Amino acid sequence: MAIHPIEERYGRPKVRWIFDEENKLQKILLVEAALARAHAAVGNIPKKAAEAISEKASTKYVKVSRVKDIEAETHHDVMAVVKALSEQCGEAGKYVHLGATSNDITDTAMALQFKDYIVFLLEDLTHLKKVLLRQAEEHRKTVCIGRTHAQHSIPTTYGLKFAIYACEVQRHIDRVNECRERLLVGQMTGAVGTQASFRDKGIRIQEIIMKDLGLCPVMVSNQVIQRDRHAEFMLILALIAETLNKIATEIRNLQRTEIGEVSEGFREKQVGSSTMPHKRNPIYAERICGLSRVIKADAVASLDNIALWHERDLTNSSCERIIIPEACILTDYVLRTGIDLIDNLVFDPDAIERNLNLSGGKVMAESLMITLVEKGMGRQEAHELLRTIAMESYEKKIAYRDLLVKNREIAKWLKPRDIDTALDPKSYIGTAVEQVDNVIEKLR
């Protein structure tokens, strides 16, 4: 029976498999096998023993159930694996785990899991960037009202909104690639990092193992790979989730009945409410926002795993068993949900136009100010004049244009046709289209 939603509700099976207990065990066995081969390479153990260990280092032989049975007796997870593998290897079993400490194996195995996961993460981020760029291109000239402090400000374009998001996603791609060399590292350094158990061959053994596994060796460690590496990656996942939170929050706001400019795609048989038949709720955007909180919380917990006692304690272990699979699987899920959400957005041109003109022209006050300055009026004088007229428009419920054309001071500088030109929202988007085109060219 599933307990955690990531077991059946959230996340793709192929991503969940990376963190499945059987796959985790297989990664641990791969490290144990690589350790045996390294010992054989430097002459510490017979080559045939390493071959026997390598052959049996598979969940085909070492079963999760057997490991659990042994752990129930030993109360030590890695020692349970060592015993389960050793009993499959016959005489060669006496060489299993030679010189290693538990985290040499588990931390290196976790790096192998991260290595697999990052493939999907970069794939998701690239796909998300692609759909954002498509929306940016399609709506490069879709003029809409901009909002600051949740109030109408001046016109912008939907293309610019999506171009901003696409640039943010590109930064996440860059962060993941930059972090990868710090995250995908393994260690074989013994109980406190001195490699004393490997005598004078420790550095060579570590190099052989990591080359075998396709990882980089740590430069130095104690009993564990230092957790700043993992915390950095978890914070990147949190940043990715918060970008999706930001996009989803914007969509939720724009789908509000009073705004109605953009909405989630609504499937033919989709139900919005169990009691209100008319509802079309932004459930996917809301789900993204909700799950982003969990991913962010996991990242915060990862920071506490950095400060372990002395050469290490065990406080990070129980925490990481939860937060790392959870954050990775949920990040994959919100990315996939975000891709689908953005790819299937529905735009309402009438609502966009209605809201653009909702203020009766007051949102074009800056445009008028710039026009007055170009005609020769001082900037501060123009600002105060237009602010006073705007406040009168609010208070007396009189159209802004009507007050402008009747104002004697305005009339000294602008004709009615100049006012109408300055009041046209579509003529006041600056270089927005050019900026979007530049983003599309650079990010594609």
Collapsing DSSP states into helix, strand and coil, what is residue 177? helix
Residues 92, 99 contacting (CB under 8 angstroms): no
The number of C-alpha atoms within 13 Å of 3 and in the hemisphere containing its C-beta is 2
Our measurement of the distance from residue 348's CA atom to the centroid of its chain's CA atoms, rounded to an integer in Å, reads 29
- Does 273 qualify as catalytic in the annotation? yes
Q: Which of 439, 434, 385, 443 is nearest to 414 (CA)?
A: 385
Q: Kindly name the residue from 4, 153, 273, 427 that is annotated as catalytic.
A: 273
Cβ burial 45-76 (10 Å sphere, 16+ → b, else e): beeebbebbbebbebeebebebbeebbeeeee
Cβ contacts of 349 within 8 Å, gap of 6 or more: 142
Q: Which of 37, 166, 189 is nearest to 107 (CA)?
A: 189
The DSSP string of 83-106 is: HHHHTTSGGGGGGTTTT--HHHHH
DSSP letter, residue 363? G
Q: Which of 157, 150, 225, 217 is nearest to 193 (CA)?
A: 225
Tokens of 84: 């389960």
Tokens of 310: 């002395």
The number of C-alpha atoms within 13 Å of 81 and in the hemisphere containing its C-beta is 25
Cβ burial 148-180 (10 Å sphere, 16+ → b, else e): eeeebebbbbbbbbbbbbbbbbbebbebbeebb
Tokens of 16: 């969940």
Check residue 259 and give left, alpha or beta (phi > 0: left; psi -120 to 50: alpha): alpha
- Does 367 qualify as catalytic in the annotation? no
Q: How far apart are CA 180 and CA 186, in angstroms?
A: 12
Residues 289, 249 contacting (CB under 8 angstroms): yes
Q: Kindly name the residue from 75, 149, 278, 310 that is annotated as catalytic.
A: 149
DSSP letter, residue 18? G
Sign for the CA dihedral angle at 14, 19, 22, 26 comes to: positive
Active site residues: 149, 273
